[in-house]
Amino acid sequence: MVTDDFLSSTIDFNLLSLRDLLAAREQFHLHLINKPNVIATAVGRYRIRKSDPWPDASNPTGASASNRRAKGARTLENSEVRPYSWPALLAFVDRWVDPGDFAHPQDAVPPAVYMQTGQKVPICVIEAQRNDIRPDAGANLNFPASILGGGYPVVCDVQGQEHLASVACLVTDGHKTYALTNRHVAGDAGSVISAIIGRNKVRVGQSAPLQLAKKAFQDLYPDWPGKNIYVDLDVGLIDLDDVNDWTTQVYGVGESGPLADLSDSNISLRLIGCPVRAHGAASGDMRGEICALFYRFKSVAGSEYVADALIGPTGNQPLGTRPGDSGTLWMTDIEGEKDGPRPIALQWGGQVFQDSAGQGASYALATFLSTACNALDVTLLRGWNIGLPEYWGAVGHYGIATKACDVISNANLKKLINANLDRISYAVADINKKTMAGLSKCRSPMCRTWCGRWGRTSGAA
């Protein structure tokens, strides 16, 4: 019986590194982008249709004759990254054409390319029809009663219009403290930045001179190939009027963990599929995963533009990001993280792809936060004004509700209320940050946690 051929020339794609993929794209990008229908490229892992079988003992690769036949379009929606997915170039097309249906076979995107080193790099073709219809702009805004921080909206008046963005986090240069957001919202240095506090529009600072628009890829990642490529950073700083009005906690999340320190020495394909979460000023709580790295989305005058990360939905839950979420801080969402969720990326834009129902599915374009902090020479600030758990939040609201039950003057009513305390609030001993985590979900800024509790107890929406 024939056993393994130890001299076989079979190529193990899993040996390919992120640097190998970037080198392959650098060598073949023009070849790919000039193919009919190709609109963008990225690097990541080969996406497998959710309907495809998983490998088993009788079929260790999961491949079959039926699998190799044309199966229709592969999309971000109907595919997924599995543990055995190969490193691959991702070629996004606006129209799927089966290989045998091209009038000119050479117009088809090849299944792989060969490098000058002899390495074979697979190409995963993904149909991603861009949709010009933006998501419903009706934002679900949360406004602070007093203190500000990550996840809350800020406003800049430009040419008679209000530009809305999210605050990401607080950073410091050692002398001053700044709020981090997007440059395209913060505007020119000296532009007044406001927030809605207690239903009033209040100035909170002004745009700082130090900003980032674009930066050469090889300036940020000198050890990787990327000629004529620019990273779209879009980072701005707000010079705060009074730092005492701010906290380092992120609305809906709380205290953050240490910065995810990423560079060309440690960014790898392990980031693909990394679960992430955020709280956008417009969309509220968002959950997703990193779908691709260095998404190459635009070409102008011979220069190519990339986003560090393309973040998309996870499972069957839509990402839901919309205008107003620019500046949102994305954090890791890994179960059991000892130091809490780690800030990883700053959202600066979105990409809408058409889903199977013909609707727009939103994806976020983001800059690695460590890249932005390094370029601005600032440090992520943690631990400022964290004595207010989750901005008063669940702890404060439930505490008020519980104490209010004790001051009812009518004896019969007081007896009735206290007998049903578990339907209204929590016992004082149970009201703490740990047990209250994640309960501040109500859309009303006045009764956020009360309604979250009531809805969970009674089944109300």
Q: Give the gyration radius of the chain's Cα atoms.
A: 25
Name the more confident of 389 and 160.
160
Lowest-confidence range among 40-44, 68-72, 148-152, 210-214?
Answer: 68-72
Helix pair 393-406, 411-419: axis angle to 10 deg: 140
Query: What mean pLDDT do residues 193-204 have?
Result: 86
CATH topology of domain 148-380: Thrombin, subunit H (2.40.10)
Strand partners, 80: 48
Q: What's the pLDDT band for 7 if we cut at 50, 70, 90? A: low
Q: Is residue 133 over pLDDT 70?
A: no
On whether the pTM is more than 0.75, the answer is yes
pLDDT of residue 443: 35
Query: What mean pLDDT do residues 403-409 have?
Result: 73
Phi-psi region of 190 (alpha: psi -120 to 50; beta: other; left: phi over 0): left
Q: Is residue 335 over pLDDT 90?
A: no
pLDDT of residue 82: 93
Query: What mean pLDDT do residues 182-192 have?
Result: 89
* Rounded CA separation 119/12 (Å): 10
Output DSSP code: residue 308.
Answer: E
pLDDT in tens, 271-281: 999 999 999 88
Q: Kindly list the domain boundaries of the chain, sorted by start residue.
A: 13-56+69-127, 148-380, 393-458
pLDDT in tens, 241-258: 999 989 998 988 888 899
- Give backbone dihedrals phi and psi of 79, rounded to 5 degrees, phi first: -130, 170
Q: Is residue 196 over pLDDT 60?
A: yes
Q: What's the pLDDT band for 451 if we cut at 50, 70, 90? A: very low
Q: What is the bridge-based pairing of β-strands 148-150 and 246-250? A: parallel
pLDDT of residue 442: 39
* Rounded CA separation 371/236 (Å): 13
pLDDT of residue 299: 84
Q: How many CB atoms lie within 10 A of CB 264?
A: 14
Q: Is residue 80 over pLDDT 70?
A: yes
Q: Name the percent of the chain lying above pLDDT 70.
A: 78
pLDDT of residue 307: 95
Query: What mean pLDDT do residues 321-342 have?
Result: 89
pLDDT of residue 240: 95
Q: Is residue 449 over pLDDT 50?
A: no
pLDDT of residue 412: 85
Q: Is residue 192 over pLDDT 80?
A: yes
CB-CB contact of 106 with 70 (8 Å): no
Which helix (H) or strand (E) segment is 404 a member of? helix 393-406
The residue whose two tokens read 């997703």 is 288
Lowest-confidence range among 189-198, 207-216, 324-333, 381-390?
Answer: 381-390
Q: Is residue 119 over pLDDT 80?
A: yes
Pick from 46, 51, 131: which is nearest to 91 by CA? 46
What are the angstrom distances between the C-alpha of 100 and each of 37, 124, 223? 16, 17, 40
What secondary structure does DSSP assign to 7-44, as a single string? T-----GGG--HHHHHHHHHHHHHHHHTSTTEEEEEEE
pLDDT of residue 276: 96
pLDDT of residue 70: 55
List, in order, residues 6 or more apart from 74 with CB less than 8 Å away: 47, 49, 96, 124, 125, 126, 127
pLDDT of residue 323: 85
Q: What's the pLDDT band for 1 if we cut at 50, 70, 90? A: very low
Name the more confident of 250 and 448.
250
Q: Is residue 329 over pLDDT 70?
A: yes
pLDDT of residue 64: 44
The residue whose two tokens read 């602070």 is 144
pLDDT of residue 460: 29
pLDDT in tens, 171-185: 999 999 999 999 988
Pick from 168, 228, 210: which is nearest to 368 by CA? 168
User: What's the CA dihedral at 97, 103, 107, 111 to 10 degrees?
Assistant: 50
Q: Is residue 6 over pLDDT 80?
A: no
* Rounded CA separation 167/326 (Å): 8
pLDDT of residue 396: 53
Lowest-confidence range among 55-69, 115-129, 199-213?
Answer: 55-69
Q: How many CB atoms lie within 10 A of CB 119?
A: 16
Lookup: tokens for 411:
């004896």
* Mean pLDDT score across all residues of the chain: 81
Secondary-structure percent of the chain, ordered helix, strand, coil, rounded to 5: 20, 35, 45
pLDDT of residue 399: 60
What are the angstrom distances between the C-alpha of 443 and each of 141, 194, 199, 259, 449? 8, 22, 15, 29, 9
